[in-house]
Amino acid sequence: MADLLFPKAALVACNGGCRNESCPYGCIGCGMCVAICPFDAIAINKNGVAEVNESKCQGCGACVTECPQGIIRLHEAGSPIVVKCANRDSGKAARAACQVSCIGCGICEKACPSGAARVEDNLSSIDEALCLACGMCAVKCPRHAIYDLRGVLTKIN
């Protein structure tokens, strides 16, 4: 259940498929967000990338400005289907950089029943005002770049 007192939560658009090695866009595991978060809501996970605990996050946005990679943004806390990738390289390069990168194939856009999933600059994004949280994109994504934060339709890590 989303905490409606704090309808926004931070989201790190990377799931660490390259283990901070080859992707120029993703999380570098620097830990600046972890340090700045006043609510102790971010930690570096086992993939070596920052991950937000939505039940602690109060949507203050401190990490958003802090992130040197610019890959943290605020999203609707009640919207569980998210793209956790920031790689804008073309398919081939994106594939080479990471195991779970978005390659801009457009399958999510086709699968999405509500026009929420869009691919631009080789990267998928979800318009949360339109999203119905069905997760069709998460289930169909061949790269597992889209996640169900509730852990129902996809495993979290």
Partner 1 sequence: MATFFVNGRSVTATKSQSLLRFLRDELRLTSVKDGCSEGACGACTVIIDGETCRACVPKTDQLEGRHIITVEGLSDWEKKLYTFAYGEAGAVQCGFCIPGMVLCTKALLDKVQDPTEKEIRHAIRNNYCRCTGYVKIIQAIQLAAKLKKEGAIPEPTETDWKLGSSVHRLDVEEKVLGYGKYPDDWYLPGMTYGSAVRSQYARARVLSIDAEKAKALPGVVAVITAEDIPGENKVGHIKHDQYSLIPVGGLTHYLGDAIALVVAEDQETLEKAKKLVKVTYEPLPAVHGPEEARLPDAPRVFDEEENNVQAYKHVARGDAEGAIAASKHVISRHFETPWTEHAFLEPECAVAYWDEDGFVRILSTDQSSHTTLHECKLLLGSEKVRVQNQLVGGGFGGKEDMSVQHHAALITYLTGRPVKVKFSRAESLLVHPKRHPFWMDFTIGCDENGIIQGVKASVYSDTGAFASLGGPVLERACTHASGPYNYQNFEIEGTAYYTNNPPAGAFRGFGVTQTCFAIESLLNEMAERIGISPWEIRYRNAIRPGQELPNGQIVGPETGLVETLEVIKPYYDAALAAGKPVGLACAMKNSGVGVGLPDWGRCKLIVEADEKVHIYSGASCIGQGLGTVLVQMVVTNTPLKREDIVYERSNTWIAPDSGDSSGSRQTLITGEACRRACEQLTSALQEKPLKALVGQEFYGEYLAKTDKLGADVPHPVSHVAYGYATQMAILDRDTGKIESMVAVHDVGKAVNPKSCEGQIEGGVVMSMGYALREQYPIDENCKPIDKFGKLGLFRAHEVPEIRAIVVDKPGLDKACGAIGIGEITSIPTAPAIAEAYYQLDGQRRTTLPLTNTPYERRG
In sequence order, what DSSP letters do the residues of 10-41 get, joined into one string? Answer: EEES---TTTTSS-SSS-----HHHHH-TT--
To ligand SF4, the closest distance from the beta carbon of 113 in angstroms equals: 6
To ligand SF4, the closest distance from the beta carbon of 133 in angstroms equals: 5
Please tell me the distance from the alpha carbon of residue 157 to that of residue 75, in angstroms, as a whole number.
19
Interface of this chain with partner 1, residues 58 to 97, rule: CB under 8 A? 78
Q: Mark 16-35 with x for binding to partner 1 (rule: CB under 8 A) and - for no binding.
A: --------------------
Select the residue interacting with ligand SF4 from 2, 43, 93, 111 (CB under 6 A): 111
> Other C-beta atoms within 10 Å of 156: how many?
12
Q: Out of ligand SF4, partner 1, none, which partner does residue 117 contact, by CB within 5 to 8 A per kind?
A: ligand SF4
Q: Are 49 and 27 in contact (CB under 8 A)?
A: yes
Please tell me the distance from the alpha carbon of residue 100 to that of residue 123, in angstroms, as a whole number.
12
Q: Mark 34-73 with x for binding to ligand SF4 (rule: CB under 6 A) and - for no binding.
A: ----------------------------------------
